[in-house]
Structure 1
Amino acid sequence: MSGTIVMPKLGMTMTEGKIVEWYKEVGDPVNQGEAILMISSEKLNQEIEAPIAGVLLNKNGEVEDELKVGATIAVIGEEGKTVLTNDNEAVQPTTAIEKPDNSDYTDVLVNKEEKTMKGDRLFITPLAKKMAKDNNFDMNLIKGTGGNGRITKQDIQRVLANGLDYKSDLPTQPASVDVEVVGEGLPPMRKAIARNMRRSLGQTAQLTLHRKANADNLIDFQKVLRKEIESTELDVKLTLTVLIARATVLALQDLKKMNSLYQDGQLTEFDEVHLGIATSLEDGLVVPVIKDAHQKTIGNLAREIKELTGKARNGEASGDLLSGSTFTITNLGASGIEYFTPILNTPETGILGVGAFQDELILTEKGKVKSVKKIPFSVTFDHQIVDGATAADFLTILTKYIESPYLLVL
């Protein structure tokens, strides 16, 4: 009996994860539920546990290697047993194989696609393979220094600096230069953000509309609710962000085209609203998700927003809390920003930017000058899915709820 550990999908946009640390080596005994390694996704670090008890038979990557979601990371089973690679070919991963000094192509390596010139197979991590292909390297001419002779990222970097390890009678193509790798050299979270933002801009036709709403009634409404909360001693922190979130949820239910996802060639409109709340961290940004926000009262929204954003800032939010949103809100009001152009959290159709309150003078119907507070909104939408008129309608509906806030509790 053996158990396979695969790279989990910790978020809707996650496509690969990085191995941060191995807690076990090949041949080490492990218990069911024991942490085997730590991975880093685009949003958080997470320990991966053993699905069964046994011996770690195979490691399919080294520290800093990146594997696609669903790729095999490791195999656990009985000591000495044969395990299967991703291509279902049997190998004995716990057997060390030494390569004679005078050999060119006698490496015993494993990979589901690449073969050596003498019919042997090739061990290479996914990241190393990509780097080798980007630089037009013959992978058979590279000495692997990882477990079982696996070619790793460090081996490719060595070859980039010093040249190929082995000679070949076959002509090789020159290495390409200036290969663009999005986020290369950045910390894991920033690299993931870079990739997500580039992917978002590359896959969608983004346009942003702006509008201000009179916030005076919303501020008065907040004061009334806060007074009621104090009289009942409820543990609720009622911020204006909570009320804007409630207004957004209602607007999305009124205009479901904005509460939709476009993914894998399929457009899905949702009755349910799963609201993402963009939360800034010291070194990046995450989006905890309020699931079924349309079913939450204002008080419940307040509690969940406080709880989930707190977990996100403390690095305690699990993958399921950071995925599954159908629409996102991002608020730069605390930074004094009025209008901005938020980038879509793909595959969502829209994202709402909230700016800082502004004092403005208006002329009343009686001809008197009055000072009011305005709140600026910026909605970015995918023009492939909806037109400007639809996004404008969304802002109109949202403004209705902001300026008539008692509708939020009906």
Structure 2
Amino acid sequence: MAEIIRMPEVLAGTAEAAVQTWNVGMGDVLAQGAKLAEIETEKAVVEYIAETSGTVGRLLVAEGQNVAVGEPIVVLVAEGEGDAEIDAALAAAGVTVSPAPGAAATASPTAPEVPVPAPVSVVAPVRRFVSPLVRRLAQESDVDLGSLTGSGPHGRIVRRDLEKYLELRAAELSRSAQEAAMPSPAAPLDPVVSASGDNVGYVDVPLDRMRKAIANRLTLSKSTVPHFYLTADCRVDELLALRARVNETAVRRVSVNDFVLKAAAAALVEVPEANSIWNTDSIRRFDRVDIAVAVAVDGGLTTPVLRDVARTPLSEVSASVADLAERARAGKLRQHELEGGSFAVSNLGMYGTASFSAILNPPQAGILAVGAAQKRPVVDAEDVLSVATVMTVTLSADHRVLDGAVAAQWLAAFQRRIENPLSILI
């Protein structure tokens, strides 16, 4: 029987997404676990992996087309089925859609030929390849595609090319505004004057989908989730020494953040009440520790999730983080890699930030903000003043899920492991 595949909710709270690239065409045989498409959300491009098998009978949306989550995007058929079975399945589901224009780009010999509009923007006499999504974003930003140079395959104009152009344009507009504000002896100008009497130049940078999503999601989190914060100063001299010894023989160098992730996971095992999320009418507690890692990408932030961190060796955690970060920056994360997790870690220590507080990413109930390891004066248990390397961490917690005592127990468990790092390796 024909099976309808619908647009997935690749990120929690996502209302719509676009098929950036179809990896199949009409008549292709799709195996379970194969890549069906690349889906672009406001925050990332993720691979949509097929959860079933079949033959592609009809593509229902075109590349670049925005589709609400849950709407049909493709129909799979079994051997011997065709348009009649597809139409019947769509009718039974109450769907009245037609094949997307150009969706049958790789039609099988038995499929009817469908005219395929070329995904190009033509600026005579050069033929410029550009995705429909980038074309729409360029139109919204009033950008002539003829001004862009494509860095994608075969010179294809991709999203990063447009964003780079917008950044350069914004910088140029800012310079122009500043120059225009300077009076010329030959032609005196009437400068724009602020309320304080200063000459002011500025430029409005358009919001892209990622920045809008971040703004909406974090505003919702901060306004609807009751945050509270706990801070601890962790002495990390022993951890840094252990890391240096590990890296002397390790095939892959491990980072301080890798130790932080393992310590956080061990603390969640010790205090299982903290390994929970808000589930509207219940609190869901997990028996496995999955932790999201904040990764800075062009124009924003994404949070891929590490699985089963507590039972994963340090070297494998390090390799997984590096792989996820690299693919996040390249826009190649898969759908399941952005889902789940009860806890998150955000580390700005590499930028020299001493301490900060992070905003929760619902439904996760905790996020640990990690600052830089710095030399500071400390007083030990014998009241002796000395110098130690100290790292400040701040836990942001959802008070609907975690009470202060539970959050404090978790933070103490984390601090013990950071200050006694051999316990992380056991």
* Fold match by TM threshold 0.5: yes
- Residues 46, 333 of structure 2: 8 Å contact kept: no
Comparing 353-362 and 311-320, the one that deviates more: 311-320
Encode CA deviations 1:166-214: one digit per residue, 9 max, x unaligned. xxxxxxxxxxxxxxxxxxx632222332232233234421112222111
Match of residue 160 from structure 2 = none
State the alpha-carbon separation in 1 of the partners of residues 348 and 270 from structure 2.
Answer: 25
Partner of 2:68: 67
> Are the structure 2 counterparts of residues 48 and 404 from structure 1 closer, same or farther at C-alpha, using a change threshold of 3 Å?
closer
User: Which of 335, 353, 356 is equivalent to 2:351?
Assistant: 335
Unaligned runs of 5+ in 2: 102-135, 141-205
The 2-side partners of 1:269 and 1:35 are apart by 32
Any conservation in 2 of the 1:237–1:303 contact (CA below 8 Å)?
no
SS of 1:276's equivalent in the other structure is strand
- In structure 2, how many angstroms separate the alpha carbons of the residues matched to 1:393 and 1:92? 55
Q: Is the 8 A contact 1:278 1:331 kept in 2?
A: yes
Alignment correspondent of 2:315? 299
Q: State which of 58, 77, 94 in structure 2 corresponds to 1:56.
A: 58
Identify the residue that residue 222 of structure 1 maps to in structure 2. Answer: 243
Per the TM alignment, residue 36 of structure 1 is displaced from its structure 2 partner at its CA by 8.1
Task: Look up the match of 1:379.
Answer: 395
Displacement of 1:370 after TM fit? 1.6
Aligned twin of 2:123: none
Distance 1:188 1:409, change over 3 A: same
- Counterpart CA distance in 1 for 2:263 and 2:57 is 54
Match among 267, 279, 300 for residue 251 of structure 1: 267
Q: 1:339 is aligned with what amino acid?
A: S
Extract unaligned runs of 5+ from structure 1. Answer: 97-152, 158-184
Query: For the residues of structure 1 that align with 2:35 and 2:311, how far apart are their CA atoms?
Result: 37
Contact 1:57 1:75 in 2 (8 A): yes
Does 28-37 or 347-356 show the bigger shift?
28-37
Secondary structure in 1 matching 2:327: helix
Q: What CA distance in whole angstroms lies between the structure 2 residues aligned with 1:87 and 1:262?
A: 36
Once residues 390 and 286 of structure 1 are traced to their aligned partners in structure 2, the CA distance between those partners, rounded to angstroms, is 28
* Separation in 2, partners of 1:199, 1:314: 28
Question: Normalised by the size of structure 2, how large is the TM-score?
Answer: 0.64
Work out the number of aligned pairs and report it: 315
1:279 deviates by: 1.0
Indicate the RMSD between aligned Cα atoms, in angstroms: 3.4
Q: 1:329 deviation in Å?
A: 0.6
Q: How far apart, in 1, do the equivalents of 2:98 and 2:332 lie?
A: 35
Contact 2:45 2:332 in 1 (8 A): no
Contact 2:48–2:335 (8 Å) recurs in 1: no
Post-superposition offset of 1:315? 2.2
Correspondence 1:237 to 2:253: yes
Distance 1:379 1:213 in 2: 13
Q: 1:341 to 1:5 in 2, by over 3 A?
A: same
Tell me which of 325, 329, 350 is aligned to 2:366. Answer: 350
Q: TM-score, normalization: structure 1? A: 0.67
Identify which of 25, 28, 31 aligns with 1:31.
28
Q: Secondary structure at the match of 1:357?
A: strand
For the residue of structure 2 that corresponds to 1:362, the secondary structure is strand
Q: Distance in 2 between matches of 1:374 and 1:201?
A: 29
8 A Cα contact 1:40 1:188, kept in partner: no
What are the superposed Cα offsets for residues 33-67 of structure 1, whole Å, 9 maximum, x if unpaired?
Answer: 498865312443246699654653754x8845341
- Given that 1:58 and 1:76 are in contact with CA atoms closer than 8 Å, whether structure 2 keeps it comes out as no
- Tell me the distance in 1 between the aligned counterparts of 2:63 and 2:323: 35
Say if 1:13 and 1:346, in contact at 8 Å, map to a contact too: no
**Match of residue 227 from structure 2:** 206
Aligned pair in 2 of structure 1 residues 188, 404: CA closer, same or farther (>3 Å)? same
Describe the SS at the equivalent of 2:372: coil
What secondary structure is seen at the aligned counterpart in 2 of 1:82? Answer: helix
Structure 1 residue identity aligned to 2:313: T
Q: Does the C-alpha gap of structure 1 residues 23 and 244 become closer, same or farther in structure 2, counting only changes over 3 Å?
A: closer
- SS of 2:29's equivalent in the other structure is coil
Query: Deviations along 1:357-398, whole A, 9 cap, x unmatched?
Result: 222112456665421111000100001122223222222221
CA distance in structure 2 between the aligned counterparts of 1:408 and 1:90, rounded to whole angstroms: 54
Work out the CA distance in 2 between the residues paired with 1:266 and 1:86.
Answer: 37
Deviation at 1:263, TM superposition (A): 1.7
Structure 1 54/216 Cα, relative in aligned 2: closer, same or farther at 3 Å? closer
Cα distance change, pair 394–288 in 1 and its aligned pair in 2 (3 A):
same
* C-alpha separation in 2, matches of 1:191 and 1:86: 36
Identity value in percent: 24
